[in-house]
Structure 1
Amino acid sequence: MLIQRGGLKVVAGLGVSGVSVVNFLVEKGYRVAVTDSRETPPGYEHIPKHIDTHFGKLDQDLLLSAEEIILSPGLSPQTAEIQHALAQGIAVVGDIQLLRRATDVPIIAITGSNAKSTVTTLIGQMAQDAGKNVAVGGNLGRPALDLLKDQPELIILELSSFQLEMTSNLHAEVAVVLNISEDHLDRHGDMLGYHTAKHRIFQGVKHVVYNRDDSLTRPFVPDVTPMKSFGLTAPDMNQYGILTDLDGTIWLARGRERLITSRDLYIQGTHNVANALACLAIGEYIGLKQDSMLATLKTFKGLAHRCEYITTKAGVRYYNDSKGTNIGATIAAVDGLGQSIAPQQGQVVLILGGQGKGQDFTVLKTVLARYVKHVVLIGEDAKNIASVILNTVPVTFADTLAEAVKLSQQQSTPEDVVLLSPACASFDMFTGYVDRGQQFVASVEALNDDR
């Protein structure tokens, strides 16, 4: 017989993380109820049948009867019903807070506007290759609470700003903010709100890794907190960066020690050099052997939909960066690929557009002017983006992604790169960035090789 304990836990919002929270709490013997504004929320069929459910709207009376509300990251804490509960003194947390309470296993916490999925996956692979029993998830892949089923010795979490705004005192073994650029301002209000949410990752942190090329990533923590930096500059002693030989060879380095050349990485582009350096810094703090980490870097192929090489047709390379859902991601992709093109031999044709999320697209203009010969615009914010970049680079509009791919082919010549990196959310035209990326790949594969 399961003995129920404590007051009522109300899970607000289902979906993948909500389902994991419900099942975790039920297994631990808590009284649990669920409310969701959707009539048939995703995942409802995966929770126990005896659970009290209130669908179709957020049930204010149920929320006010809770001892604690566990808020799914897709629901803003500014939602009126949640604000009313907070005003009544009811605690509101997220699944990451539950994870921290449930285990003393060291947590590696990774966030940033861009590259967090790549870095989370790469450091997870490094740890696994080094023989550690590691569980990887959070905002990426498996929900955080499900990771406990593996009984890991190390947990590596990708964390979004939505998850972090409901998390306090994570006490991460290592925490890193990889970069900060405009994103989710429709949720956080302004850059200060977004920055504040991201930096909650450092509460109680034991070791810090930060990006010295981005001052917004460096936290205010006690002076005794060990810190390592990474960046695309020559590093100080015991820090991570790059050293460049007279012949142009770029080395990933720790202080003056050359570790591996950029051309020996499987994943290419300067943004991936930065990702690799971040992982080397994190790995040092968790005791991974340097030789093992470098061996992983030679074989790690990156992630689908993240600056993913698709094919070459008529001398033009095609890359899928559908996961580039904000301006910072697109700048990194264009900059990384642009630098990989031999000077005077080719440029980038860029497919941009979708739901802009209130971002300021003027910051794209510098990288567009440097590397991009033509932009093809799609999606509901296409005209808004065009009004900003029109005097920087030639622009063409497309009604569909398939049309955008054909127009990009027409604008490209051998040695060019065609890049889908929309800098926008996808929900105006697609079910998500995966759907957008898959449609891009299909459209590229349908092109004629002879143009």
Structure 2
Amino acid sequence: MKTDAASMKVANKHIVVIGLGMTGLSVVNHLVAKDDGAKVSVIDTRATPPGADKLPNNVALHAGGWNMEWLLSADLIVASPGIALATPELKAAAQQGIEIVGDIELFARDVAAPVIGITGSNGKSTVTSLLGEMAKAAGIDVGVGGNIGFAALDMLAYDHALYVLELSSFQLETTSSLEMASAVFLNLSEDHMDRYDGMEDYRQAKLRIFDQTQLAVWNQDDLQTKAPEGKHAESFGFSQGDYTLTLSDGNEWLTAKGDPVMAVSDIALVGRHNVANCLAAMALADSVGIAREAQCQAMREYCGLPHRCQQVLERNGILWVNDSKATNPASTLAALDGLKLAGKLHLLVGGDGKGAEFSALKPVLAALDVTLYCYGRDGHAFAGLVDAPVMVETMQQAMDIAAQTAMAGDMVLLSPACASFDQFTNFMVRGETFAAYAKTITEQGAKELATE
């Protein structure tokens, strides 16, 4: 553990944690475990915040609103990523000179092993998980988490030899001292426009990942991801440049610094966007000396995460595919890229649009034999993308209609281009509901046919 001044900033301080849940609880447990005289309090605007029953007895909780007395008397505020720094209450604290950080900043002050960071509008969970698999294949004790899976602070207790962190723009906003062996900015597309003052504001938040990294990896097909000069020791591009594709005997090969590594056809992940993800993961893996053999093994075996173009059911020749992780238009575009079907596509879109613009989907949909099902709070925003869209209130209603009309060779694809929060707790619950309900309605349909 670090023992420098940065790691000692919480000693004997009044620390207020904003927001519970997995991240907030990890912050509380981390601070309490230090046993260095800090007084820890929690504020959560929800009346019954998740994790409240797991709080240590010596940690006070104010639920159901803000407690400005606590907030303005704090020496340090640790805000959960979902709470914007522009929130009036946090702005008031900042104006008083109170330091506001996030869980990743606390992690940065105590971590002793190398760290790799991954950000981007899309693909960061896949690259984070794939890189973790590469490290495991090489026999490295690796912790994989951050904005995915384990909370970063919870992983410190395991004293891993390497940490691979998915980092959201929200987390990067409150992080200033995270030193990394390498970091990547995968891509930039419209997202979270309900929180940022335009795309450039969003981009600048993402670019913070390069502030203290030895190797900056960026997407040469998306120049908005290019690392600023002077903030890193080295810079590599992927998709073009150092990590790219080459042709050999008519076959595409992943290539690292001019050396062919493996055929694209051997990658287990599906979709053109995942070829770029593999190139990025290779660049990051090379930065910490993960053996090429282990990298290739992981790319041959790793099939991806749940809720990301995941086939959950095939019945009567109809595929049901869960891409619930598609929480913005670019993710849905990636799912549709190069899609080839024998029959019709039944595409389910809608939810909480987060202020996004969906017109980029129109030309792609025009090239497909598709029925568009629009549901949820912002389902109406998709209505003009195709002729005769099916407008419903809920995802389940859309699935009912799709189940009645789909034929052999068709695909029912949940790729909503929206967040889930209008009808579901998170995208995982949305995807799990889709998978379970697909099984229910298709089994019911089979029973009804058997009794006719």
Identity of aligned residues (%): 41
Shift of residue 27 of structure 1?
1.3
Match of 1:37 among 45, 48, 66: 45
Instruction: Give 2:5's aligned residue.
Output: none
Instruction: Give 1:422's aligned residue.
Output: 416
* 1:7 to 2:10 alignment: no
Instruction: Give 2:356's aligned residue.
Output: 359
Q: How does 1:19-418 map to 2 (within 5 A)?
A: 19-28=25-34, 29=36, 30-222=38-230, 225-231=233-239, 235-236=240-241, 239-244=242-247, 247=250, 249-336=251-338, 338=339, 341=340, 345-346=342-343, 348-371=345-368, 373-387=370-384, 389-390=385-386, 394-409=388-403, 412-418=406-412
Tell whether the 8 Å contact from 1:313 to 1:449 is kept in structure 2 after alignment.
no
Shift of residue 117 of structure 1?
1.0
Tell whether the 8 Å contact from 2:41 to 2:59 is kept in structure 1 after alignment.
yes
Output one character per residue of 1:75-105: Cα deviation in whole Å (capped at 9) or x when no partner. Answer: 1111111111100111111111111111232
Say which is worse superposed, 72-81 or 50-59, in terms of deviation: 50-59
SS in structure 1 of the partner of residue 327 of structure 2? coil
Structure-2 change in CA distance of 1:50 and 1:410 (3 Å): same
Shift of residue 412 of structure 1?
4.6
Tell whether the 8 Å contact from 2:319 to 2:411 is kept in structure 1 after alignment.
yes
Structure-2 change in CA distance of 1:294 and 1:444 (3 Å): same
Mapped to 1, the partners of 2:274 and 2:405 lie a distance apart of 27
Tell whether the 8 Å contact from 1:401 to 1:439 is kept in structure 2 after alignment.
no
Mapped to 1, the partners of 2:79 and 2:26 lie a distance apart of 12
Tell whether the 8 Å contact from 2:109 to 2:177 is kept in structure 1 after alignment.
no
**Amino acid in the other structure paired with 1:170:** L
* 1:441 to 2:438 alignment: no
Output one character per residue of 1:37-72: Cα deviation in whole Å (capped at 9) or x when no partner. Answer: 122211112221111222222211111111111111
| Alignment coverage as a number of residue pairs | 434
Shift of residue 149 of structure 1?
0.7
TM-score, normalising length from structure 2? 0.90
Tell whether the 8 Å contact from 1:12 to 1:71 is kept in structure 2 after alignment.
yes
SS in structure 1 of the partner of residue 180 of structure 2? coil
SS in structure 2 of the partner of residue 222 of structure 1? coil
SS in structure 2 of the partner of residue 272 of structure 1? helix
Structure-2 change in CA distance of 1:46 and 1:221 (3 Å): farther
SS in structure 1 of the partner of residue 421 of structure 2? coil
Structure-2 change in CA distance of 1:214 and 1:372 (3 Å): farther
| Structure 1 residues not aligned, in runs of 5+ | none
Say which is worse superposed, 140-149 or 306-315, in terms of deviation: 306-315
Mapped to 2, the partners of 1:310 and 1:400 lie a distance apart of 20
Shift of residue 346 of structure 1?
4.6
Shift of residue 305 of structure 1?
0.5
Mapped to 1, the partners of 2:249 and 2:372 lie a distance apart of 35
Say which is worse superposed, 26-35 or 399-408, in terms of deviation: 399-408
* 1:16 to 2:22 alignment: yes
Output one character per residue of 1:3-42: Cα deviation in whole Å (capped at 9) or x when no partner. Answer: x943211111111111111111111122212122122211
Tell whether the 8 Å contact from 2:212 to 2:232 is kept in structure 1 after alignment.
no
**Amino acid in the other structure paired with 1:103:** V
Tell whether the 8 Å contact from 1:335 to 1:371 is kept in structure 2 after alignment.
no
Shift of residue 159 of structure 1?
0.9
Output one character per residue of 1:82-139: Cα deviation in whole Å (capped at 9) or x when no partner. Answer: 1111001111111111111112321111111111111111101110110111111111
Shift of residue 243 of structure 1?
2.9
Say which is worse superposed, 271-280 or 399-408, in terms of deviation: 399-408
**Amino acid in the other structure paired with 2:243:** Y
Tell whether the 8 Å contact from 2:211 to 2:231 is kept in structure 1 after alignment.
no
Instruction: Give 2:6's aligned residue.
Output: none
